[in-house]
């Protein structure tokens, strides 16, 4: 489970970040006109006040491509320099081709190998580790790692327990293979990943796949929407994310006292507060933007990382802890020296 930086001729560094959020804002007050809820009910339980909703003609690949362009601009790389694209998403444009291939076409990354991965809210950190292994092995040099979701397509707008939580968006990073002797910023020091398939029923979209295709007989029950057992999800999220954080720090040769900023999965303010408390960190060392965006699954960490960087909340040399938890169940944590 522990996967510290493997011995190799190079290491991986984040050299650019980018994000894109759709223009449409859906506030809690507006949601209260759709389903029985209120701003007070939502914000007091989740910390969420609004979320972004993609336009009908925007696919996940459109959100991902714009975030990718912004990350490439920040990194100062051209589309031709990108030789690997990994997109983490549970809302692909279609079952196949991969969303990554659509991104490749839209940004003109003609030299890239492209594929998607599905690990729900942990997806971006899974994708980061996959890309890191390609780079550290020397088979690729410059990668785009993207977390992108159009979760509004999976929402049951009649279920107030889930429809208030989710939104759309995309975040991306460019990572590059660097000489180990180079004092490069954004170095990924360690990553820990885990999963527990015995908990697949707690958070899922049961319909739409081969196990439960959408038919005329079942379409009315909306099986292709998000189903979640909130209490069980909360309990496992806090436990797994704290453990993964500790393991990632250990793999990096660091301790909790070395952390300058935690960028956690943006699912629920109570979960984030519980994690900070268990790690013994003040909330000012924890970055949150879920009040504006809600839970955007695989996009939450790269979007938050981009915002924290652009707002000056993290600076050169800072130890940044990234941690996520998602359906599967899956969890992951990475330590980056910024």
Known catalytic residues are 121, 265, 295
Contact indicator for 71, 172 with CB cutoff of 8 Å: yes
| DSSP helix/strand/coil, 7 | coil
- Report CA-CA distances (Å) from 115 to 43, 72, 131, 186, 301: 36, 18, 11, 24, 20
Residue among 96, 23, 87 nearest 61 (CA)? 87
Looking at 76-167, which runs of residues are DSSP E strands?
Answer: 84-88, 113-117, 142-150
Beta strands in the chain (DSSP E): 2-4, 11-20, 24-27, 50-53, 84-88, 113-117, 142-150, 168-178, 187-195, 203-204, 227-228, 261-264, 319-326, 330-337
Displacement of CA 69 from its chain's centroid (Å) = 18
CA 131 to centroid of chain Cα atoms: 15
Q: How far apart are CA 306 and CA 308, in angstroms?
A: 6
> What are the structure tokens assigned to 132, written together?
């890191």
Q: Are strands 11-20 and 24-27 parallel, antiparallel or unpaired?
A: unpaired
**DSSP 3-state assignment of 74?**
helix
What DSSP designation does 153 have?
A: G
Answer yes or no: are the C-beta atoms of 224 and 207 closer than 8 Å.
yes
**Terminus-to-terminus CA distance in the chain, angstroms?**
24
């Amino acid at each position: 489970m522990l996967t510290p930086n493997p011995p190799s001729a190079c290491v991986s560094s984040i050299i650019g970040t980018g994000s894109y959020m759709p223009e449409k804002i859906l506030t809690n007050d507006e949601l209260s006109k759709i389903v029985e809820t209120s701003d007070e009910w939502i914000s007091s339980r989740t910390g969420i006040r609004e979320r972004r909703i993609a336009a009908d003609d925007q696919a996940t690949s459109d959100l991902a491509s714009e975030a990718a362009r912004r990350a490439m601009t920040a990194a100062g790389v051209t589309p031709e320099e990108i030789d690997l694209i990994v997109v983490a998403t549970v809302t692909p444009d279609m079952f196949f081709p991969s969303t990554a291939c659509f991104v490749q076409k839209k940004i003109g990354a003609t030299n890239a190998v492209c594929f998607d991965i599905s690990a729900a809210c942990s997806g971006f950190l899974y994708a980061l580790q996959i890309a890191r292994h390609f780079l550290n092995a020397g088979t690729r040099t410059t990668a785009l790692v993207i977390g992108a979701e159009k979760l509004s397509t999976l929402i049951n707008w009649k279920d107030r327990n889930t429809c208030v939580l989710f939104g759309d968006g995309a975040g991306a990073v460019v990572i590059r293979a660097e000489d180990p002797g180079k004092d490069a910023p954004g170095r990924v020091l360690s990553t820990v990943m885990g999963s527990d398939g015995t908990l697949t029923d707690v958070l899922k979209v049961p319909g739409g796949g081969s196990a439960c295709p959408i038919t005329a007989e079942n379409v009315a029950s909306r099986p292709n929407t998000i189903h979640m057992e909130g209490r069980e999800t909360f309990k496992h999220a806090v436990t797994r994310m704290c453990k993964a954080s500790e393991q990632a720090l250990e793999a990096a040769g660091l301790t909790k006292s070395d952390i300058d900023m935690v960028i956690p999965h943006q699912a629920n303010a109570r979960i984030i507060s519980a994690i900070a408390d268990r790690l013994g960190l003040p909330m000012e060392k924890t970055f949150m933007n879920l009040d504006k965006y809600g839970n955007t699954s695989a996009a939450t960490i790269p979007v938050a990382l981009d915002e924290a960087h652009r707002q000056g909340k993290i600076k050169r040399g800072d130890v940044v802890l990234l941690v996520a938890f998602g359906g599967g169940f899956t969890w992951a944590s990475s330590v980056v020296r910024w």
